[in-house]
Amino acid sequence: MWRVELGSAARRDLKKLPHPVYIKIEEYFGSLSLDPYKGEPLHGVLKGFWKVSFNVQSVSYRIVYQILKTEKVVLIIMVGSRERFYERLSRRTK
């Protein structure tokens, strides 16, 4: 079993989300703790990160994380809606 940890910026992201989205994200955290390779690997400048995509009330959301194999940790980097997500993510991961 893997441990799911939130980065400080990801904690702030979660506080901004509506409650139904937060509940759905918690479900994904549980499934990532069982199998972090369930998501899709990102490419290009974001290589090394993974994502999970889902929809709530016709809005698309993303969870981006890193898999730290030696520690068996899934580190959540960013959570949010799809709109301008990757632009914000690339600034956050520099």
CA distance 10 to 71: 19
23: domain CATH number is 3.30.2310.20
The stretch 58-67 carries a mean pLDDT of: 96
Going by the DSSP 8-state scheme, the letter that residue 72 receives in this structure is: T
pLDDT at 92: 87
The stretch 58-86 carries a mean pLDDT of: 96
pLDDT at 93: 83
pLDDT at 94: 75
Residue 52 pLDDT > 90: yes
How many domains does the chain fold into?
Answer: 1
CA distance 33 to 1: 6
The stretch 8-25 carries a mean pLDDT of: 94
pLDDT at 24: 93
Enclosing domain of residue 51: 3-92
